[in-house]
Amino acid sequence: MNRTFRALLAGGSAVTAAALLASCGVLGGKPKRIAIAYTNDVRGEIRSCGCATHDLGGLGRRATFLRVFRDTTQADVLLVDAGDFFSASINYGKEKAELTMKSMAHMNYDGLVPGENEFGFGADYFRTRAREIGLPVLAVNLADAASDSLLFAPSRVVTLKSGLRAGLIGVVSVALKFPPQVQPGSLEIRDPAVAVQAEVDALRPNVDVVVVLSHMGRSEVNQFAQLLKGVDVIVNGHDGLPVRQVKRWGEPYVVQVAAKGMYVGVATGSISKEKRVVRLTNDVVGLDKSYGDDEAIAKLFNAYDMEVVAREKAALPTHAVTTFAGADACQACHAPIFEKWKSTGHAHAFERLASQNRHFDRDCTPCHTTGFFKQGGFVNASATPHLTNVQCEACHGNGAVHAKDPAQKTDMVAKGTCRTCHTAEQTPEFEFNTFWARIDHGGMGASTAGSR
Ligand SMILES: [Zn+2]
C-alpha cells in the first residue's frame, strides 16, 4: 500500500469535522463527501509489462485498489473513465478489448465516455459488446447520422451508498477523429456545450452532484468548462497528460490523470448545502505491485493468455526463411563477448516472456527477440528459435554478411540502438554509461559498442 493511498484512507486533506458540518449538506448526521475515482487514456495497457522501471498499472491491480478503497473510505465513491481505454495499435486485438471491457464491468464502473480508440473495431462492435458486457457508456452528443438517434445513453443517475445522487454525462469533442473502421459521415457529433447544458438542466433538480466525462483536447475542455452552469467536476481524457494543479475553469473543476493506466486519480470533495462540490482535492494512486491482482481478473487474464497462445500457435508458420546469423555464429570468432552476453539480461529476455505465457504478445516480443519486424528476422519461437532473446544482431544489425566475410561490417552502430527499446517511457532513467556497464564487452574482442 503506498503513501498516497494511506493518506486517502485517512481522509486526505486536513479539514476539521466541525468546518465540514458548518459548510456542507448533512445526510444521516454526517457531512456528505464524494470521491471520484477516475481513469482516462489507458490505451490498451491491460497490465504492467513488469520490465519497465516504473512497474505500475494493470487492470488486476486497479480492481484490487478499488475494492480496498471502496471498503475503507468514508466517502461515497464514484468510478468513471474518460475514454481511450482501447489502444490504437495494430497489435491491439479484440481479445484485449474484450478483456478490458469485462474487467471494467467487474470493477463496476459507474460511467464511461468513449474516445476514438473505442471505435477501432467499428461502432457496432463497441456499442454491442459494451451493452452485452454491461458497461454504462454515455455520450450526449454522439449520434448515428442515418437514424439521427444517439449512439449511447446521454447520461445516468447513480445513487451512492449514503443516498447521494450523482448525475453523470458523457460528451466527446467535435474534433474527434474516428479510425478508418468507422464509415466517414456515419456518425454525427453535436455541439458539446449545448448538448451538455441541456442535459445538466434536466438532471440538476434530481441530483446532488453533476460529473461530466469528456473526451477532448486540453484547451478545448478548458474552454468548454467555462460555458457550463451546474457542473461540478469534469473528468477529461484524450491527450493523456495529467492535470497537475486541479483548478476550476468557470464553475467546474477539471481533472485528468496520466496515460496508460499506471495511476488512478481520486478527486475528493464535500457537498455544500447548495448541492455543489467544494474544496476538491486530487490524489493520484500509483498502481504498484503491492496491490496484487484481483482474483477474478487474474482468471480472465489466464484465459486470455491461453487463447492468444493457442491462436498464435495455430496461425503462425513453423518455418521461416531467416537472413540473420544468430548469436551462435558470432560466438565462433567472439567467444569472450558471447560468454559475457550469456550473463546479461539480454540473453534471457525471451525466457522471461515465455515464463509468463506472453511470448506471443506483439507488444512485448519486438524487444525480447532479434530482428522482429525486420526482413529475415524473428518470426516466432518455432520458426526462428535461433533468434529469441536480445542477441548481438539486435544492436549491431544483421550479421550474416559479416559472418561470411569479417571485413564486411554489420549495418548498425550499436550505441545508437539502445533507445529503440529502452524508451523514455520504458526505462526513464536510461543513461548510456550506467547501462553500458551492465553489458560492457568493449575490449573483449574485435567489437565495441561505439564501433560496429
Ligand atoms: Zn482520444
Above 90 in pLDDT, residue 114? yes
Give the pLDDT confidence score for residue 51 in this predicted structure: 63
58 part of a folded domain: yes
Q: Name the band, by pLDDT with cuts 50, 70 and 90, for residue 170.
A: very high
284 lies in the same domain as 345: no
Name the least confident of 118-122, 134-138, 235-239, 324-328: 324-328
Ligand 1 midpoint to CA 444 (Å) = 49
Q: Is the pLDDT of residue 159 over 60?
A: yes
Residue 403 domain-assigned (yes or no): yes
User: For residue 31, what are the contacts with CB-CB under 8 A and spacing of at least 6?
Assistant: 17, 20, 21, 24, 25, 270, 271
CA 83 / ligand 1 centre spacing (Å): 7
Would you say residue 120 lies in a domain? yes
Contacts with 385 (C-beta within 8 Å, 6 or more apart), sequence order: none
Report CA(115)–ligand 1 centroid distance (Å): 5
Among 236, 269, 298, residue at a domain's last position: 298
Name the grid cell of 226.
467555462
Same-domain pairing of 146 and 280: yes
For residue range 123-153, list pLDDT tens digits in order.
999 999 999 999 999 999 999 999 999 999 9
Same-domain pairing of 255 and 366: no
Cα 171 to averaged position of ligand 1 atoms, centre (Å): 12
Instruction: Kindly indicate the confidence band of residue 23, based on its pLDDT and cuts at 50, 70 and 90.
Output: very low
Q: Please name every residue paired with 369 in a beta bridge, in sequence order, or none if there are none.
A: 388
Query: 226 or 414: which carries more pLDDT confidence?
Result: 226
Q: Looking at the domain assignment, is residue 450 inside a domain?
A: no
In angstroms, what is the span from residue 40 Cα to ligand 1's centroid?
9
| Confidence at residue 305, expressed as pLDDT on a 0 to 100 scale | 84
242 and 342 both lie in a single domain: no
The answer on pLDDT for 192 being more than 70 is yes
Q: What is the pLDDT of residue 18?
A: 38
**What's the predicted TM-score (pTM) here?**
0.79
- The DSSP secondary-structure symbol of 7 reads H
Is the domain of 242 the same as that of 99? yes
Q: How far is the CA of 261 from the centre of ligand 1 (A)?
A: 14
CA 216 to ligand 1 centroid distance, Å = 7
Do 264 and 335 reside in the same domain of the chain? no
Please check whether residue 121 lies inside any domain of the structure. Answer: yes
Q: How far is the CA of 124 from the centre of ligand 1 (A)?
A: 18
CATH code assigned at 293: 3.60.21.10
pLDDT at residue 239, rounded to an integer: 94
- What spacing in Å lies between the alpha carbon of 169 and ligand 1's midpoint? 17
**In this structure, is residue 430 part of a structural domain?**
yes
Give φ, ψ of 22 to 5 degrees: -70, -30
What does the pLDDT read at residue 4?
A: 53
Cα 175 to ligand 1 centre (Å): 10
Both 251 and 400 in one domain: the answer is: no
- The residue among 424 and 185 whose pLDDT is bigger is 185
Does residue 364 share a domain with residue 288? no
d(CA 117, CA 96): 13
Cα–Cα dist 216/229, whole Å: 19
Say whether both 218 and 72 belong to one domain.
yes
- The enclosing domain of 380 has a CATH number of 1.10.1130.10
Residue 385 CB coordination number (10 Å): 11
310 assigned to some structural domain: no
Quote the ligand 1 centre to 259 CA distance (angstroms).
Answer: 11
Cell triple for 11:
481522509
**C-beta of residue 211 within 8 angstroms of C-beta of residue 255:** no
> Is residue 30 very low, low, confident or very high in pLDDT (cuts 50, 70, 90)?
low
Q: How far is the CA of 235 from the centre of ligand 1 (A)?
A: 13
Shared domain for 96 and 211, answered yes or no, is yes
Q: Of 104, 182, 93, which is closest to residue 142 (Cα–Cα)?
A: 182
Centroid of ligand 1 to alpha carbon of 181 (angstroms): 15
What confidence tens digit (pLDDT) does each residue in 381-426 have? 888 888 999 999 999 999 989 998 999 888 788 888 898 888 877 7
344 in the same domain as 269: no
Output the nine-digit C-alpha cell for 240. 493523456
Considering the domain architecture, whether residues 28 and 161 belong to the same structural domain is answered as yes
Q: If you measure from the C-alpha of residue 299 to the centroid of ligand 1, how many angstroms do you get, rounded to a whole number?
A: 29
Cell numbers of 389, please?
A: 532473446
Structural domain that includes position 215: 3-298
Ligand 1 mean position to 284 CA, how many Å? 21
Q: How many domains does the chain have?
A: 2
Å from CA of 177 to ligand 1 middle: 8
Q: Is 361 within the bounds of a domain? A: yes
Last residue of a domain, one of 267, 298, 329: 298
Residue at grid coordinates 547501462: 435
Residue 86 has pLDDT above 90, yes or no: yes
The three three-digit cell numbers of residue 32, written as one number: 456528505
Do 319 and 383 touch, CB atoms closer than 8 A?
yes
